[in-house]
């Protein structure tokens, strides 16, 4: 069962028997991990050092690899001279791939693969391990370090799977935090008032402004946040150190409290978090997962997408001056971290924050940022001012939108908003309680297909509004859902209905991504090991489970333009006839030289001369990074393989086949 994003209905779709497996493989970060050259090199160096140390002690080398994935770390160990290697992998398709990769590289007689979680491994003559290992290598980390259960994995292995005086790779981890102030980032978590007109303001409900937010980590490519958009209020602070060797106990619940000096004046709103790994027992090999500004060589910092950095939003905001002491409190349980700066010295927040206002449950960080976007809001207000009058009957169709409140504040007679989703319904209801003193706004808790004239109090709608934003519409063209809904609603619309926006355009641009292309590029080999069998598995999984266009927040991934912006599809929302199927094709000249590894797609919306974009927000400058809208995802079509292009010599062809149930995009580049 799937949700058709255009129709907004659940429907059956025929999928491959192992579709769920393929989808999990396709969505995984295995390829990105294997493209991580620094990670591979430092694991390899640490393994070589550990095996040599065991040899120097006269001990047999017995390696346990937990979460082997493709078997790369196991092959490193076997190639470096380990006497035995047991590789543990609980995900069956990847374990089978590891077998193929290991066999292809000639290590099938040296490496044993066990299809289990490490905590289920047995030791003994008939066990998974004949005897305990003395070198443990594991890559079980995520952006939050411990979110994949790393603490329990290392604790269990040390107690039950390792000999005394074993070597563990990595041997330790350090978690760093830095307190910052950032109006930009705060707008991804806290809803602010929206100014509609003098004396007309949409006020967030008190339970929204007082909510601590969600404990879910906000992972982001922190190096791409413009450094003029935040102020560092402290230097980086090490808040937790985890030893994986067994020398120190691994605590599943810890609290860190430390007074740290403020290095600037500002509001303590946000904590940036990253971590480092001590790969060897001596601490000579360090893997730093921090943003570029904390890297030893920022210009050569390793790009990676499988590990990013994390943003945490502080539950209480504290204003400080340079030189003040800040009492930073950090917490972790088995799987997550959270932070606070208690205003009372004896106040502790021992449980992770939970959302009680519904906003952080229903809305993503990008969606919250969208609602706080003053430029975007001002454009919608300007559009509405052109059509709203004291006799206007308005209907809003968008999930959890503030457009109904803009229309009400501008003097509409009545405003209806369709919110069949329980969470969105309750969230908008809380806004109504604090903003609709004249009872202008009415929530309709029905699906559009089930509406009747009674729902609109027997009146015709003369202003139809949308952002458009729908939770289930993740690809740019899926916002055609509004066009479909506009057709369903035709019986309830006045003949002279005004529709905001009037038109939508699906646009594209050919680009050269600096790094993002790697997530879909074949690995071929890593550290001298042939990984073509893995490439075959990933490509097969992608072909079965993934659409040709993937959603990504492209602002996090620098790219330069290789063509001008171009139109692919245009939607005229003023027409009540929705087109169920069509085909579009065209040619676009290449305008700049480079490696074309993708086409990025987005949507623009117009009402008369006013435009709202989810794409580039500044004019395109050749050979300079494109500045993208930060509160929307764009669609990315990757070329396999990337193509070197030259202006006047190459042209981009596109072809779109659209149907209600399936839309396919084909882009090709050819010489003129």
Catalytic positions are 139, 148
Nearest to 71 by CA among 535, 529, 536: 529
* Rounded Cα–Cα distance for residues 630 and 634 (Å): 10
Asked if 403 contacts 467 with a C-beta cutoff of 8 angstroms, the reply is: yes
Token look-up 């993937």 returns: 550
DSSP 482-524: HHHHHHHTGGGEEEEEEEES-EEEEEEEEEEESSGGGGGS---
- How many CA within 13 A on the CB side of residue 536? 10
HEC per residue, 358-413 = CHHHHCCHHHHHHHCCHHHHHHHHHHHHCCCCCCCEEEECCCCCCHHHHHHHCCCC
DSSP 251-275: -SSEEEEEEEE-SS-EEEEEEEEEE
* Rounded Cα–Cα distance for residues 377 and 3 (Å): 29
Q: Peptide bond before 501: cis, by omega within 30 degrees of 0?
A: yes
H runs (alpha helix) in 80-149: 92-104
* Rounded Cα–Cα distance for residues 511 and 638 (Å): 10
SS3 state of residue 116: coil
What is the token pair recorded at 579? 């087109």
HEC per residue, 459-483 = CCEEEEECCCCCCCCCCHHHHHHHH
Compute φ and ψ for 362, nearest 5 degrees. -90, -30
Q: Facing residues of 158 across strands?
A: none
What is the token pair recorded at 335? 């799987």
N residues, the chain: 672
What is the token pair recorded at 104? 């292809």
What is the token pair recorded at 263? 């290095």
Q: How many CB atoms lie within 10 A of CB 13?
A: 11
Strand 62-66 to strand 133-138: parallel, antiparallel, or no bridges (unpaired)? parallel
What is the token pair recorded at 511? 């680009």
Cα separation of the two ends of the chain: 45
DSSP code of 70?
T
Asked if 336 contacts 347 with a C-beta cutoff of 8 angstroms, the reply is: no
Token look-up 């303001």 returns: 201
DSSP code of 590?
B
- How many CA within 13 A on the CB side of residue 398? 21
* Rounded Cα–Cα distance for residues 99 and 111 (Å): 9
Asked if 541 contacts 26 with a C-beta cutoff of 8 angstroms, the reply is: yes
What is the token pair recorded at 144? 């939050």
* Rounded Cα–Cα distance for residues 394 and 563 (Å): 40
Question: What are the CA-CA distances from residue 240 to residues 180, 273, 342, 512 (Å)?
Answer: 19, 11, 19, 39
């Amino acid at each position: 069962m799937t949700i058709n994003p255009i129709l907004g209905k659940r429907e059956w779709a025929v999928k491959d028997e192992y579709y769920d497996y393929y989808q999990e493989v396709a969505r995984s970060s295995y390829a990105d991990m294997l493209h991580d050259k620094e990670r591979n090199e430092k694991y390899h160096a640490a393994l070589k050092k550990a095996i040599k140390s065991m040899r120097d002690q006269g001990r047999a080398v017995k390696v346990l690899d937990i979460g082997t994935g493709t078997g790369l770390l196991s092959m490193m160990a076997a190639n470096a001279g380990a006497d035995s290697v047991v590789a543990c992998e609980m995900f069956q398709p990847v374990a089978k791939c590891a077998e193929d990769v290991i066999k292809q590289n000639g290590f099938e007689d040296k490496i044993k693969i066990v299809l289990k979680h490490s905590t289920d491994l047995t030791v003994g003559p008939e066990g998974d391990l004949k005897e305990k290992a003395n070198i443990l290598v594991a890559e079980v980390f995520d952006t939050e370090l411990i979110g994949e259960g790393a603490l329990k994995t290392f604790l269990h292995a040390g107690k039950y799977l390792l000999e005394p005086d074993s070597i563990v790779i990595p041997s330790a981890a350090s978690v760093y935090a830095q307190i910052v102030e950032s109006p930009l980032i705060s707008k991804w978590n806290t809803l602010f008032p929206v100014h509609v007109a003098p004396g007309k303001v949409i006020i967030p409900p008190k339970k929204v402004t007082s909510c601590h937010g969600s404990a879910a980590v906000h992972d982001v490519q922190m190096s791409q946040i413009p450094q003029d958009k935040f102020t560092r209020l402290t230097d980086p602070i090490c808040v937790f150190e985890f030893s994986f060797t067994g020398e120190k106990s691994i605590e599943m619940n810890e609290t860190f409290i430390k007074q740290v000096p403020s290095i600037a004046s500002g509001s303590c709103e946000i904590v940036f978090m990253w971590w480092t790994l001590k790969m060897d027992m001596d601490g000579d090999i360090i893997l730093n997962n921090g943003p570029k500004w904390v890297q030893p060589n920022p210009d050569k910092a390793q790009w990676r997408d499988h590990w990013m950095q994390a943003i945490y939003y502080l539950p209480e905001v504290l204003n400080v001056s340079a030189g003040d002491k800040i009492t930073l409190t950090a917490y972790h349980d088995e799987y997550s971290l959270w932070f606070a700066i208690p205003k009372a010295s004896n106040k502790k927040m021992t449980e992770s924050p939970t959302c009680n206002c519904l906003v952080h449950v229903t809305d993503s960080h990008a969606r919250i940022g969208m609602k706080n976007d003053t430029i975007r809001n001002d454009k919608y207000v300007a559009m509405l001012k052109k059509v709203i009058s004291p006799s206007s009957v308005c209907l809003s169709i968008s999930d959890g939108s503030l457009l109904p409140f803009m229309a009400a504040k501008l003097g509409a007679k009545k405003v209806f908003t369709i919110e069949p989703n329980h969470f969105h319904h309750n969230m908008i209801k809380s806004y109504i309680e604090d903003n609709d003193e004249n009872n202008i706004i009415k929530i309709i808790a029905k699906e559009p297909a089930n509406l009747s004239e009674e729902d609109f109090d027997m009146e015709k709608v003369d202003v139809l509004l949308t952002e458009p934003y729908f939770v289930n519409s993740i690809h740019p063209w899926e916002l055609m859902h509004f066009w479909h809904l506009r057709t369903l609603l035709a019986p309830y619309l006045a003949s002279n209905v005004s529709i905001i926006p009037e038109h939508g355009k699906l646009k594209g641009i050919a680009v050269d991504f600096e790094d993002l292309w790697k997530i879909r590029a074949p690995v071929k080999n890593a550290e001298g090991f042939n990984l073509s069998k893995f490439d075959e598995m990933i490509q097969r999984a992608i072909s079965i489970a993934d659409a040709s266009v993937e959603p990504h927040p492209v602002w996090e991934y620098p790219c330069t333009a290789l063509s001008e912006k171009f139109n692919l599809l245009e939607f005229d929302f003023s027409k009540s006839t929705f087109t169920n199927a069509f085909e579009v094709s065209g040619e676009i000249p290449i305008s700049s030289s480079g490696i074309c590894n993708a086409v990025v797609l987005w949507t623009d919306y117009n009402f008369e001369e006013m435009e709202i974009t989810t794409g580039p927000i500044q004019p395109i400058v050749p050979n300079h990074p494109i500045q993208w809208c930060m509160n929307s995802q764009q669609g990315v079509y990757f070329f396999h393989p990337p193509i070197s292009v030259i202006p006047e010599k190459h042209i981009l062809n596109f072809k779109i086949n659209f149907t209600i149930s399936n839309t396919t995009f084909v882009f090709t580049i050819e010489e003129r």
